[in-house]
Structure 1
Amino acid sequence: MDKNKTKLPGGVIGNSRMLAAVSPQGELIRLFWPHIDFPQNAAQIHAGILIQHPCADPELLWFHEDIWQHSQTYLENSNILVTTHYSPELGLKVTQEDFVHPQYDVLIRNFNIENLNCKKFFGSFACYNHMKVNDMERYNTVLYLKETDSFLHYFNNIYFMLGSSRNPMGFQCGSPKGKDSPLIFLKKGLPAGRKYSNGISASAALWDLGYISENWTENITLFLAAGETQEKAEEIFEKIKSRDIKELRSEALQHWENYLKAGRSLYLQDGLINKLFKRSLLMLRLLNDKDSGAFIASPEFDPYYEQSGGYGYCWPRDSVFTAWALSLAGHESTAENFYYFGAQVQRKDGLWSQRYYAAGTTAPCWGDQLDETGIMLWGIRQHYLTTGNYNFLLKMWDTVKKAAEALKGKIDSRTFLPQPSFDIWEDFYGISTYTTAAVIAGLKAALNTAVELKEEKLITTRAEDLEKLCRSIRMALDNFMWNKTEEYYIRGLINGLPDKTVDSSTLGLIFPFKIIDYEDEKAQKIIHAVEKHLTCEITGGIKRYQGDEYIKGNPWILITLWLSICYFLTGSRNKAKKYFMWSVKHRNHLDLFAEQIDKLSGRPAWALPLAWSHVMFILAVLLMEGENLIDKN
């Protein structure tokens, strides 16, 4: 079983087709292709140095191991990840660059090795590759191809070709668990030259570094090219390996700089906030599947569902927030492509399922969430209001009609509340306050779209009847969900009975749906209840709801930013800044935002990077820049 199955990355790299997760120590722990969510093709991929000692066995030192001191950063305004490994004992410094070429599906790993002291020795560069192509350890094959001096790992229609511009001094294919394990031969410094392995397969190679003397420097670059056929993988590999690393790096830098220049610039923020804003935009691009338009929540890190239901999927809800933020930040086409993806995956009954694979098929689910259909309708309207793209609205009209009719059919004719479904956090089945707000917002958006297009009815429902229904649901929201005694909105109803849990998702009545006006006293009551009952006493930050036990019940960055935004909109700018800066403080060493912060240590605790956390940061920054987010209609 994969030893990295629940290991959080330090950073991620990619090109919106290939996505790779890299540990804080520079270890490549996951590699997704041909989509950014599935399959995951890496089991163990290591790089290191083999040192030859006189009259002793060779010493194999992997760069990700604790014998090195590690530091890590992104090159400015790019998704090129640089990890530095330094050994005071050996006097060796290794600068490792990892990036995916923006045009070709090839992972590029460049290693610059320096000897900074007077110790001298013979050495070799070592590489070990245990692949599980197509997320399948069995049935894999690896071949060593002499004509290209590369390894070919493949299963079914997924092929990876791995090698360097330099020829290796030795190689080995074999089973990671067998007598022919490439690791065994690597550690001896004597790869036996076996050219193939079937089943659970791995490969390894050594490249001669020669005599490592004082002030010696050597550079080696590895390429991992992907293709649907051997010919395609080989074509990319041969095209890239003949290129100079400086030229490849320059192309990647230029690509990401052009991406940022195409978007919005900030004018009022200091250097740190501007830097985090750019990093958020760069990260969201990596979490967007270029071929389909889908956004994933986070690179998958819990594939066996040991502590969660998984994260490497496209949720309509999260994706609407993401598309909205990107559209406001000037990346309108990326946002628009998501809605076209949404139109393609919409069910025949007009609703959207809980989550999807990036390729467009339904992902593992455990029940409908009506808020997702509501926010899809709301998001389509917001995208139009942001961009003014009338043709987009025309293209989405059939989608809007089907979804609005489906939501209308989910309203209880007696209570005027939505029928029970899973809530925003997916662990409460009932009629939640947030879902009710999302349904109101979605139906109002559909109504306004109909008016915009001069459509008198959807499919069977007249526009004026839809308007009356929205008013009835709004009244039911207050009648059933407002706790008059304690003056706050409850979590919702279970089997018709009130669940009085204080839940942070009630902030949705203020933002983004504006069911409650900012000046309304109830807005202050919502904010007060969330802050009073959900603040983490040890590290600060805001938790999801009372009694939350998921991953220890930690505070969440996205929720803390949600509260910050609501404080800003209701005029409490000092409180808004307090929670905003708490979130900024709790980014990781690469300026990435996790889902949660450990309530004891204050460190990133789960799902990193999380798209929704970066999205709420972008929205908070745009508000501070004076953007009028939701009053355009």
Structure 2
Amino acid sequence: MSDEPSARARTATAPGRPGPRRGGSRGRGGHAGRGPHRSGVRRLRRLVIGLTAAALVATSGAAAVPPAVPAWASPGLIGGGGSPYTGAPLPPHEALGASYLPNSSAVRLRDGRVRLIPPGGNAPVTVAADDPRVDAAVRADRAWLASGTVPTGGLGDRYTAMASRALLDLRLLTRPNGASQASWYGLWRYSWPRDSAFTAAAFAVSGHPAEARSILGFMAGVQDADGTWAARYHTDGRPVTDGRDRQLDALGWMLWATWFYQAEAPDAALPDELWTMVRRAADHLALSLDAEGLPPASSDYWERDPRTEEDPRRPTLGVVGPVLAGLRSAAALAGETGAGVEADRWGRAADRLSGALAHQFAPYGYPRSPVRGGRMDTSVTFIAPPFAPVDAGVTAAISHAFAEQALPNGGVLPGEEWPGNKEVAWTPEVALFGLAAAASGRTETALDRLDWLQRHRTSLGVLPEKVGPDGHQAGVAPLGWTASMVVLSLAALEEPLPIPPG
């Protein structure tokens, strides 16, 4: 996570700063760290203004290009409804008065014309509202939504538009080969195992198993023989070689997502390639535990060098939580498929790690690093539902973490004493707190988080990565990680989500 728009590409870190990468912290907290501060914006403007101008001319003719508008400021993607589901950003200067046609990715512009991407195309066109391509695109999008379900939280239309938009955006960010992009712009235009796991879960819970299966299949195909993944991938499956280390939490998230997918489709046999993926990742994690029952220190969703943590010798909670959920998920999958030996091996590893969590983190209130007075961060939600059973101590720690990370605009920072921009809120973090509340039965808290996310969508109704102190979009939109957690949260309010057995 970094406080600059180019954080995903950084490889050098300073003590106390989120390391190379996307915000990952999408800092995306990991994801949390891409906040634009003044110097970052100036650098970004110099880099992208030419590209922005070219994009605006390509999609809008010779319209005047407003100066110094960063390309990521687009309020959302234009789509079509046909396969492949290609998205292109709506230029920011055309957003005023524009809106999506309901339940579609076609955009009605201020002058009444409609912009969309024709089926099979990869560039937007602007057509009259009565052009037959408009009706075809809208019908295709609505048919896809209707083929599954749009989670509403059981609250009528209160969140229907946000949920529908989130699902359509997730589809636009997913390539035909199953590569799920974090977002559409620059350094976000890659596939992270972490984000992909949540997108697969969102597709599974909303009744789109083919899309979920495609994402898991892509990740199975790019997994290394030792069970690990690169930090991120090009959409053609090539690892991005930018120097960032492999991140151990990715294994846990992929194991959890595969189990979740199977739990949502219990009558379907687990494909051989997914079983191979599970076995490799679970064996790697089980063998990685030390004498205390902990995995090695590793980058987590903050994507920074573990040597900068408060306790550089031990993994952060951002690693321990996903690894525990992953081992429990793998053991459950093995038990369901009759692989008793693997179920026992991975189950014993999960028990050891659970004991280490209770011994190393619980006494200090579940901080990011297991030290007295350790700083809190959003990863405390990784040891709560839907990733682990309800625990009163964890619930209290979640409330404490939210309070410590809260901002005047109602959002949260990625973590306590966040070294980046301390005025910019991160939507994935708010969504994680919301998901934990929804999956734990704390409905009012979940609704508070969802209401905040709903109020801070872009002018097109899209969920951005970040929100500035003025309440406006401060990062790329859409962000797939946030969109997927909104879908999962609303589904959890309707019916309890499956939790890996502890």
TM-score when normalising by structure 2? 0.79
Question: 1:246-325 counterparts in 2 under 5 A?
Answer: 246-265=131-150, 268-290=154-176, 292-300=177-185, 303=186, 310-325=187-202
Partner residue of 2:339?
455
Matched letter for residue 8 of structure 1? A
| Deviation string, structure 1 residues 89-130 (Cα, Å, up to 9, x no partner) | xxxxx4342111124445322268xxxxxxxxxxxxxxxxxx
Partner residue of 1:381?
259
Higher relative contact order (CA 8 A, sep 6+): 2
Return 330-339 or 618-627, whichever deviates more.
618-627
Note the C-alpha offset of 1:7: 3.7
Aligned partner of residue 189 in structure 2, secondary structure: coil
8 Å contact kept, 2:387–2:500: no
More helix by share: 2
8 Å contact kept, 1:293–1:337: yes
| Deviation string, structure 1 residues 342-395 (Cα, Å, up to 9, x no partner) | 110001221111111111110244111101011111111111111125433444
8 Å contact kept, 1:320–1:375: yes
Partner residue of 1:503?
377
Matched letter for residue 293 of structure 1? G
Question: 1:292-371 counterparts in 2 under 5 A?
Answer: 292-300=177-185, 303=186, 310-365=187-242, 366-371=244-249
Query: Residues of 2 paired with 1:565 and 1:261: CA distance?
Result: 24
Query: Residues of 1 paired with 2:345 and 2:123: CA distance?
Result: 55
8 Å contact kept, 1:440–1:470: yes
Question: 1:469-508 counterparts in 2 under 5 A?
Answer: 469-484=349-364, 488-492=365-369, 500-508=374-382
Query: Residues of 1 paired with 2:202 and 2:151: CA distance?
Result: 14
Aligned partner of residue 93 in structure 2, secondary structure: coil
Note the C-alpha offset of 1:408: 2.2
Partner residue of 1:626?
495
Query: Residues of 2 paired with 1:281 and 1:611: CA distance?
Result: 9
CA 1:254–1:567 in 2, change beyond 3 Å: closer, same or farther?
closer
More strand by share: 1
Return 558-567 or 389-398, whichever deviates more.
389-398
| Deviation string, structure 1 residues 315-345 (Cα, Å, up to 9, x no partner) | 1111111110111111110011111101100
Structure 2 unaligned segments of length 5 or more: list them: 1-46, 53-69, 307-311
TM-score when normalising by structure 1? 0.63
Query: Is residue 79 of structure 1 aligned with residue 147 of structure 2?
Result: no
| Deviation string, structure 1 residues 597-633 (Cα, Å, up to 9, x no partner) | 11x2111111211111111111121122224343799
8 Å contact kept, 1:547–1:553: no
Query: Residues of 2 paired with 1:422 and 1:110: CA distance?
Result: 47
Aligned partner of residue 211 in structure 2, secondary structure: helix
Query: Residues of 2 paired with 1:422 and 1:528: CA distance?
Result: 25
Matched letter for residue 438 of structure 2? F
Query: Is residue 558 of structure 1 aligned with residue 435 of structure 2?
Result: no
8 Å contact kept, 2:439–2:489: no
Amino-acid identity (%): 24
Matched letter for residue 628 of structure 1? L
Query: Residues of 1 paired with 2:346 and 2:168: CA distance?
Result: 40
Match of 2:411 among 516, 527, 541: 541
Query: Is residue 609 of structure 1 aligned with residue 486 of structure 2?
Result: no
Query: Residues of 1 paired with 2:156 and 2:476: CA distance?
Result: 28
Note the C-alpha offset of 1:552: 4.2
Question: 1:20-169 counterparts in 2 under 5 A?
Answer: 20-26=88-94, 70-84=96-110, 94-110=111-127
8 Å contact kept, 2:199–2:484: yes
8 Å contact kept, 2:443–2:493: no
Aligned partner of residue 97 in structure 2, secondary structure: strand
CA 1:456–1:567 in 2, change beyond 3 Å: closer, same or farther?
closer
8 Å contact kept, 2:380–2:394: no
CA 1:363–1:343 in 2, change beyond 3 Å: closer, same or farther?
same
Matched letter for residue 279 of structure 1? R
Matched letter for residue 491 of structure 1? R
What is the root-mean-square deviation in Å for CA atoms of aligned residues? 2.3
8 Å contact kept, 1:434–1:509: no
Note the C-alpha offset of 1:448: 2.0
Structure 1 unaligned segments of length 5 or more: list them: 28-69, 85-93, 113-244, 304-309
Q: Based on CA coordinates, which of the two structures has the bigger radius of gyration?
A: 1
Note the C-alpha offset of 1:548: 1.6
Aligned partner of residue 252 in structure 2, secondary structure: helix
Aligned partner of residue 73 in structure 2, secondary structure: coil
Match of 2:452 among 569, 582, 586: 582
CA 1:468–1:2 in 2, change beyond 3 Å: closer, same or farther?
closer
